[in-house]
Amino acid sequence: MSGAADQARAWLAQDPDPETRDELTLLLARAEEGDAAAAADLEDRFAARLAFGTAGLRGELGAGSNRMNRVLVAQAAAGLAAYLLEKAGDSAEAGQRPLVVIGYDGRRNSRVFAKDSAELFAGAGLRAILLPRLLPTPVLAFAVRHLGADAGVMVTASHNPPNDNGYKVYLGGANEGAQIVAPADAEIAAHIQRIADAGGAASLPRSLGYETAPESLVEAYVAETAAVAPAPDGADGLRWVYTAMHGVGWETLSRILEVAGYPAPTLVAAQIEPDGAFPTVAFPNPEEPGAMDLAFETARGADAELVIANDPDADRLAVAVPDESVEGGWRRLTGNQIGLLLGWRAARSAREADAAPGASLACSLVSSPGLQTVAEHYGLDFHSTLTGFKWISRAPGIVFGFEEALGYLVNPGTVRDKDGISAAVAMLGLVSEARGRGQSLADVLREFDETFGFFASDQISVRVEQVSVIARIMAALRAQHPERIGDVEVERVDDLLEGVEDLPPGDVLRLWLVDGSRVIVRPSGTEPKLKLYLDVRGDSADDARHRIESLAAGARALLAEQ
């Protein structure tokens, strides 16, 4: 424990936060008195350092290098500032300061981390602009492009557990406001590590000379997003329910609804105001079982036609429709179903607008292959990317992109990231247009199947105690490719570590079966899980359902053999 104890004392010397100082002081004292649990906790807090990568930083709040706190954020901000100054080179020396814009959501310490970052950026000689209040992640992504910023930082942990927070980085210029990818992540991380090794986070230069963004910036986002789908005649009388999942989406969305002309929803009152404790949900993610129960209860009381939900930082969208065949009478659409409908809408719009050559639809490689069918139907290009909008948003000629984890990019001209608010507006437009034709959203789903084919998807997640188990399974599958999954032969296997098509290398196996089905195996990027993504295309809804159930049973049997 002596190593961890020494690290803890060094940490205390540079921690500006009285709460985490008190927390660590008490833990250190208990550990030194022989408390085994305290000693183990102390070891865990300093056994590693939260890694800065293409997702920035994300982790549990608390003292120590393996937690999210003001010391770690100070080091990250100073490292990012050093990177931007290095890239600016002579122009920075000539007085053309790199510009960084900073946003934050309603999680614990989000404003504190954002304000610290603004002071440190300004202290390093950058021009720093702090958003005027807690706002959705898409507003920050918009601000990077709108202000012509060199970089943006969003303090959020999205839909993670309540005691987490994170630090997401965007780059301007040639990156067009997208999230960082290699090699920028490693270059920024190297600067952060250099600063961390030097210690003395408390002595990093700070300045109160940062700016606060004007309200006109938010108004510009509102105007651009309302223009995604102004309300058609079919919107009149639409009965719908909205939940912000205790996040920051409602204030911005409400202004957009007014500008775009949509009727106000019935709100899930207990979840509409930002609350970092997330008191009504065990896990603030619309995908999680039970997370939308209050929304469904509200919808039943309001005789609603539609439920729309954002996650806490409003970069994801969930949609549910009435369905008497399921318990409770409401069914949440899958991310693939929403993505295919919005992709269909985008493809029609691109054709009507006589889109330029090279206009494309894009999705992550684990998302439904149905989007490629849509793109080909309308003569558009299609791109499959690695998971994450840092890749999807970089697809050449993109007019729409999505990933099955409820992320959708519907207005790439203004936001190069997933945006749950603009996606909500696009969905309201799609539903309203259908209502004008006398159709429900369920009718539109059936029409899609009849037009493009009956696609079905499923996902299997295997949580492990030791991450090494995942590496062992991936190695076994690579050493001996499966010959069949269930009763269906495997036709070929793509190993992305070896490079496939125009995809960057990744720890992903893609198995193609002789009947056209697909299985993708990859480790989770954020949790100790192995994930399998299953996709089939059937001749009918019943055929697709049978195929996906059979494929899932075969995939589970394959895992059991490893």
Q: How far apart are CA 454 and CA 280, in angstroms?
A: 36
- Tokens for 207, please give them: 């300045």
Q: Do 88 and 96 meet the contact criterion of CB atoms below 8 Å apart? A: yes
Q: Across 404-528, where does the E strand assignment appear?
A: 407-409, 454-463, 484-485, 488-495, 509-513, 518-523
Given 65, 110, 117, 158, which residue is catalytic? 158
Q: Do 524 and 474 meet the contact criterion of CB atoms below 8 Å apart? A: no
Q: How far apart are CA 89 and CA 101, in angstroms?
A: 20
Q: Do 351 and 379 meet the contact criterion of CB atoms below 8 Å apart? A: yes
Strands ordered across the beta sheet of 360-364: 381-385, 360-364, 398-403, 407-409
- Tokens for 82, please give them: 């050093």
- Tokens for 312, please give them: 């806490």
Q: Do 441 and 306 meet the contact criterion of CB atoms below 8 Å apart? A: yes
- Tokens for 172, please give them: 């301007």
Question: In angstroms, how far is CA 266 from the centroid of its own chain?
Answer: 26
- Tokens for 291, please give them: 């997370």
Helical spans, DSSP H, in 353-419? 370-377, 389-392
Q: How far apart are CA 446 and CA 379, in angstroms?
A: 22
Is residue 117 part of the annotated active site? The answer reads no
Catalogue the active-site residues: 158
